[in-house]
Amino acid sequence: MMTLKELYAVLDQLEAGQLPPAERLAAFIEACAPELFAGIAPSNAEELRRSFLAEAGLPVDEAESGAGQSAEELPELSGEERIALREELFRRARNRAQEHFGRRIYVRGLIEISNFCRQNCRYCGIRCGNAQVERYRLTPEQILECCEHGYSLGFRTFVMQGGEDGWFTDERLVSLLREMKSRWPDCAVTLSVGEKSEASYRRLREAGADRFLLRHESADAEHYSLLHPAAQTWESRKACLKSLKACGFQTGAGFMIGSPWQTTASIVKDLQFLYELKPEMVGMGPFIPHAQTPFADFPAGSVERTLVMLSIVRLLLPAAMLPATTALGTAAGDGRERGILAGANVLMPNLSPKEARDRYRLYNNKLSEGAECADNVNALKARIRAIGYEIVVDRGDFQPL
């Protein structure tokens, strides 16, 4: 059984940038944030789990979903002790971020270029199997107009995010990238358009793309197979991330906290993978269900555990760019602020046209107005200033220690 003193020793290891043994790291996560989910799984959860495992050709065991935490037995912590441990984690992560970035918060202008997608991820509202989506696709001219507007607002990074839309061929993306770099040479461009071949990634890098976001979603192969159909594999996702690194991209990985059937043991695998990959960016937010997916009735992920993950990743990867994500802001009204106070240093207001923001619904109730809208960046600046930080006009490139 781990003592409270031993839990603080795990925190000391994390602060030193060391990855603790799996069982001890799992116990520390459980001690800080014991709740994976914000509710109860639906009655058919086990039936779905068995069906998805069978589809993937994996053995279907009799274990209940959510079992197998692989954490050492914990002492009986009082509520005050648990809160104190979690707050000390946040404090150390916040200090680590301030050592490297000061109190500067970087903003990226998000442009959601298309909600067409060839993939069928079970958690995603724009999955190809959702026939109720009102599809759209921005033209290159519309994307450039978004950049022009964003530049006038002070954005120096543009993030082109979309489903895996076949219309956006390598040739079209290359042409668009070259035009963006010609018009705004002082800006960084990030792509988030899914899995491609290494040859495609190399072409996009040579055309001027600086960064690429591709969340790994789960480093536990079995859990990955529960979140995706059999045609999508963890090995393929892992290979794409390694290709992005090989092509010289500032590479972003990441995962949802509290996705269906996630365990603390699988989260530890995510942390081990991130520690090995050392991505320049890590995007994490709570799972939020979408009404038109197989996970419609599953509970959302825990906000507290999401904040704990942000802090742990900040300590393990102190120079990484960590966004306080839209999902975190959707799950909690003060989610962005709490994310920053847990070690995040990036915000991504939305530059997309309103009709696109309204249709790019990855999950229920996704924020698209208010401080989430780039036009309201001054209101966002005021909110961030109120917690002692400052939004800066800067590309916000990764700077290694």
- Which CATH number characterizes residue 368's domain? 3.20.20.70
- Whether residue 163 is contained in a domain is answered as yes
Tell me how far apart the alpha carbons of residues 356 and 165 are, in angstroms, rounded to a whole number. 15
Tell whether 295 is covered by a domain: yes
Backbone φ and ψ for 286, nearest 5 degrees, come out as -70, 145
> Which residue, chain included where needed, has tokens 């079995």?
222
Q: pLDDT at position 62, please?
A: 56
Cα separation, 315 vs 319, whole angstroms: 9
pLDDT of residue 369: 54
Q: What phi and psi values does residue 134 have, to the nearest 5 degrees?
A: -85, 100
**Burial class of residue 97 (count of CB atoms within 10 Å of its CB; 0-12, 13-18, 19+):** buried
State how far the Cα of 178 lies from the Cα of 205, in Å rounded to an integer: 11
Is residue 171, in this structure, part of any structural domain at all?
Answer: yes
> CB neighbours of 120 closer than 8 A, spacing ≥ 6?
127, 128, 129, 228, 229, 231, 232
- Evaluate whether residue 84 is within a structural domain: no
Give the pLDDT score at 68: 37
Residues 387 and 88: their CA atoms lie apart, in Å, by: 18
Tell me the per-residue pLDDT of 274-316, one tens digit each, with 9 for 90 and over.
999 999 999 999 999 999 999 999 999 999 999 999 999 999 9
The predicted pLDDT at position 38 comes to 83
Its sign, for the CA torsion 96, 101, 102, 106, is negative
358's CB contacts (< 8 A; 6+ apart) are 368
What does the pLDDT profile of the chain (401 residues) look like in tens digits?
Answer: 789 999 999 999 999 999 999 999 999 999 999 998 988 999 999 999 999 999 999 998 754 444 334 455 666 899 999 999 999 999 999 999 999 999 999 999 999 999 999 999 999 999 999 999 999 999 999 999 999 999 999 999 999 999 999 999 999 999 999 999 999 999 999 999 999 999 999 999 999 999 999 999 999 999 999 999 999 999 999 999 999 999 999 999 999 999 999 999 999 999 999 999 999 999 999 999 999 999 999 999 999 999 999 999 999 999 999 999 999 999 999 999 999 999 999 999 999 988 888 889 888 776 555 555 777 888 899 999 999 999 998 999 999 98
pLDDT at res. 64: 47
What are the pLDDT digits (tens) for 379-393?
899 999 999 999 998
The domain in which residue 352 lies consists of 91-392
Q: What pLDDT score does 372 carry?
A: 57
Does 316 map to a domain?
yes
Residue listed under structure tokens 């990955």: 224
Residue type, 131: A
Residue 11 falls inside a structural domain? no
Question: Would you state the pLDDT for residue 65?
Answer: 46
Q: Is 119 among the domain residues?
A: yes
By CB atoms closer than 10 A (0-12, 13-18, 19+), residue 50 is middle
Name the amino acid, one letter, at 323: P
Q: Are 348 and 325 in contact (CB under 8 A)?
A: yes
Question: What are the Cα distances from residue 57, in Å, to 50, 232, 284, 293?
Answer: 11, 13, 29, 22
pTM: 0.95
- Count the residues in the chain: 401
**Does some domain include residue 209?**
yes
Nearest-angstrom CA–CA distance, 312 and 196: 30
Q: Give the CA angle between residues 254, 393, 99 to the nearest 5°.
A: 60
Tokens 């800006």 belong to residue: 187
Work out how many domains the chain is built from and give that number: 1
